Amino acid sequence: MMRACKNYLTFLWRCTRIAFVGDWRYYAWLGLLSLFCLVGLNAYAKQIVHGLVVTGMSDQVSWGVYIANFTFLVGVAAAAVMLVIPVYIYGNEELHDLVIFGELLAVAAIIMCLAFVMVDLGRPDRFWHLIPGIGQFNFPGSMLSWDVIVLNGYLLMNVHICGYLLYCRYDGRRPAKWFYIPFVFLAIVWAVSIHTVTAFLYVGLGGRPFWNSAIVGPRFLASAFTAGPALIILAMQVVRWITADSPGGGVAPPPSGTPAPEAGARRPATLEDLELLASHLPQFASVPAEIRQSILMDAVVLDVAPGDALLRQGEAGNEVFFVLEGRVVVKREEKGRFRITRSVGPGEQFGETSALTKTPRAATAIAEEPACLLRLPADSLSKLMQIPQMNKIITWRMTERLMITDRALMILRSIVQVSMLINVFLLVNEIFKEFYSPTAHVASSQYLYFGLHGYHALVPWIWVAIAFNLVAMFLLVLPLSRSLKYLNVACVLAIVGIWIEKGMGLVVPGFIPTPLGEIVEYSPSLNETLVCLGIWAFGILCYTVLLRMAIPILQGTLSKATEGHGDFYHRSTETPTLGIPDVKTAHSR
């Protein structure tokens, strides 16, 4: 128990510490975001002092850009499940590695949501009145009380799932299914609920016909499932880009310049070697003696020096390697840049995918330290795989890698595609309903789309949003967007379009005209805009830091096994992530 605690604290400590480690670009990025945060904080301090009069809001338009952003971000948070569903319900392995990034995005988005609600309150000092048990909680009458529950519940759930999976990966343990799978499924239902409840905030208001329409909920969901995965498509490409070393930087060995896999000393394996392996890989103990014996026949032990390549991406090869001593890093070349997909230590294997599937090597493996390796042919691996315990551990470790493949992005593309089609379809239904038989209820829509009695502040915005959505839809439907370039354009257009349409385009027209027919327009003040920018910067900062922690854990470079190595301070060969030079090296420059 004590040890587990200490271990967990070490994990937290190392995660925290790594958040402050990076190269100048990383620091510049953090600095920039912090600057925006501080400017936003300053604006918020002014708002605290002078009241919401510093915003553009009024009694007529009593919610503005804060709540608009809140609404949009709830959608982004909910969209994390669009990664979870394919993986956990339909067993899609391609997206498996992305789930954690999606859930971390959800965490960052919910934090921003809560911040936006907080800055919108007239009396933030009284937020505790909202806490069930302590304050007065108008549940189930008020939809806002539902929102408090579902948003915080969703935050906790995602923090738990991410934290637990990352800790297990760090610890080299297999996560216990009962400890996270129920939450995964709960989170799926919950994601729909955070969205629906937020929609119901508006739908439930009988006096506001623009909102009091059953289609608002479905439109929320459809637009969230468009904008969320679109954001993930972009974020994942950024992750892929920053986790790759620059090409030919001299640090990562280009495949052609490395020593051949035959480098280093080699000798037939002995029973002692197998026992050494068993000491690192307890499951190996379950392998019967006769199989051990038969394996020995073709087994070879290699002693390699740092920088030696054991196998190379694209080559044929059907051997598997088990690490007996030292560490090996597995890198994958993608578009001329290298990315660490795994860092393998004693007892762990690499090269098993090619050995089992007879496909070419998917990555290059290079010794990071002087290492001792056991090389087995595919047949021997097959024999080992017949032992259930070995099969389980080897199969599990096969999935422990960081791969963001184009195919995964294409799966996300088809989600965005279908969601966008549904979103536009729902929009068509709404517009038909409003304008085919224009009742008095059409006033808000009239204001939004065409202006009312000479007021038309939102008209250019909504048409830009519709144009963006339509262009994005066409791009997504056409095969053109199988190219990342066009896909990215489509994603950006979809995100901006939905941000306008679902943020300001939903919140503001609900107030115009007022229930008494008055028209008072709204536009955010400078102070309000700065607060928003600050919260966005804070959210991006959170996501950056979360990624900074998660990526090395997923790569295996930050793990319990690397604890003794003193993290990134003592690695002499090369930088593990983010293309960031070793801190010590940087200091001694």
By a kind-dependent CB cut-off of 5 to 8 A, residue 218 interacts, out of other proteins, a second copy, none, with: a second copy
Q: Where in 435-454 is the site for a second copy (CB under 8 A)?
A: 436-439
Kindly state whether residue 442 participates in binding other proteins, applying the rule CB under 8 A.
yes
Choose one: 52-60, 277-285, 289-297, 398-406; the region binding other proteins (CB under 8 A): 52-60
Q: Which of 48, 265, 316, 526 binds other proteins (CB under 8 A)?
A: 48
CB of 325 closer than 8 Å to CB of 317: no
Strand partners for 343: 329
Kindly state whether residue 341 participates in binding a second copy, applying the rule CB under 8 A.
no
DSSP string covering 374-406: EEEEHHHHHHHHTSHHHHHHHHHHHH-S----H
DSSP assignment letter at 520: -
Compute the distance between CA of residue 523 and CA of residue 47 in angstroms, rounded to an integer. 16
In the bound complex, what is the minimum distance in angstroms from residue 10's beta carbon to other proteins?
A: 12
In the bound complex, what is the minimum distance in angstroms from residue 584's beta carbon to other proteins?
A: 8
Choose one: 34-42, 158-166, 200-208, 240-248; the region binding a second copy (CB under 8 A): 200-208
Q: Which residue shows structure tokens 């370039």?
A: 485
**Binding residues for a second copy, how many (CB under 8 A)?**
30
Complex with a second copy: residue 232 or 427, whichever CB lies closer: 427
What are residue 298's phi and psi, to 5 degrees?
-105, 5
Instruction: Give the three-class secondary structure for 169.
Output: helix
Choose one: 23-31, 275-283, 408-416, 422-430; the region binding other proteins (CB under 8 A): 23-31
Largest separation between any pair of C-alpha atoms in the chain = 90
Compute the distance between CA of residue 503 and CA of residue 529 in angstroms, rounded to an integer. 14
Strand partners for 131: none
Choose one: 37-45, 280-288, 425-433, 464-472; the region binding other proteins (CB under 8 A): 37-45
Choose one: 216-224, 363-371, 415-423, 537-545; the region binding other proteins (CB under 8 A): 537-545
Instruction: Give the three-class secondary structure for 267.
Output: strand
313 token code pair: 């991406």
Q: Which of 38, 181, 238, 297 binds other proteins (CB under 8 A)?
A: 38
Compute the CA torsion angle 405, 409, 414, 418 (nearest 10 deg): 160
Kindly state whether residue 25 participates in binding other proteins, applying the rule CB under 8 A.
no
Q: Is 568 left (phi over 0), alpha (psi -120 to 50) or beta?
A: alpha
Complex with a second copy: residue 487 or 554, whichever CB lies closer: 487
* Residue of 565, 405, 560 lying closest to 15 (CA atoms): 560
Compute the distance between CA of residue 438 and CA of residue 239 in angstroms, rounded to an integer. 48
298 token code pair: 């073709």
Strand partners for 266: 302
In the bound complex, what is the minimum distance in angstroms from residue 172's beta carbon to other proteins?
A: 22
DSSP assignment letter at 452: B
Give yes or no for a cis peptide into 140 (omega within 30° of 0). Answer: yes
In the bound complex, what is the minimum distance in angstroms from residue 21's beta carbon to other proteins?
A: 7
Contact pattern for a second copy over residues 128 through 157, marking x by CB under 8 A: ---------------x--------------
Kindly state whether residue 213 participates in binding a second copy, applying the rule CB under 8 A.
yes
Kindly state whether residue 186 participates in binding a second copy, applying the rule CB under 8 A.
no
Kindly state whether residue 34 participates in binding other proteins, applying the rule CB under 8 A.
yes
Q: Where in 543-572 is the site for other proteins (CB under 8 A)?
A: 545, 566, 569
By a kind-dependent CB cut-off of 5 to 8 A, residue 78 interacts, out of other proteins, a second copy, none, with: none
Q: Where in 216-235 is the site for a second copy (CB under 8 A)?
A: 216-218, 221
Q: Is 250 left (phi over 0), alpha (psi -120 to 50) or beta?
A: left
**Binding residues for other proteins, how many (CB under 8 A)?**
77
In the bound complex, what is the minimum distance in angstroms from residue 238's beta carbon to other proteins?
A: 19
Kindly state whether residue 589 participates in binding other proteins, applying the rule CB under 8 A.
no
370 token code pair: 């002087």
Kindly state whether residue 492 participates in binding a second copy, applying the rule CB under 8 A.
no
DSSP string covering 282-299: GGGGGS-HHHHHHHHTT-
HSE on the CB side for 124, CA within 13 Å? 14
Q: Which of 148, 199, 287, 299 binds other proteins (CB under 8 A)?
A: 148
Q: Which of 21, 108, 227, 554 binds other proteins (CB under 8 A)?
A: 21
Q: Where in 307-346 is the site for other proteins (CB under 8 A)?
A: none
Q: Where in 95-124 is the site for other proteins (CB under 8 A)?
A: 117, 120-124
Q: Which of 19, 205, 387, 484 binds a second copy (CB under 8 A)?
A: 205
Compute the CA torsion angle 143, 147, 153, 158 (nearest 10 deg): 140
CB of 187 closer than 8 Å to CB of 161: yes
CB of 361 closer than 8 Å to CB of 383: no
Complex with a second copy: residue 208 or 401, whichever CB lies closer: 208
Kindly state whether residue 481 participates in binding a second copy, applying the rule CB under 8 A.
no
Complex with a second copy: residue 256 or 437, whichever CB lies closer: 437
By a kind-dependent CB cut-off of 5 to 8 A, residue 225 interacts, out of other proteins, a second copy, none, with: none
Kindly state whether residue 143 participates in binding other proteins, applying the rule CB under 8 A.
yes
Kindly state whether residue 428 participates in binding a second copy, applying the rule CB under 8 A.
yes
Kindly state whether residue 201 participates in binding other proteins, applying the rule CB under 8 A.
yes
Compute the CA torsion angle 321, 323, 328, 332 (nearest 10 deg): 30
* CA distances to 204, 232, 409 from 482, in Å: 41, 16, 9
Contact positions toward a second copy, by CB under 8 A? 143, 192, 196, 199-200, 203-207, 212-218, 221, 425-426, 428-430, 432-434, 436-439
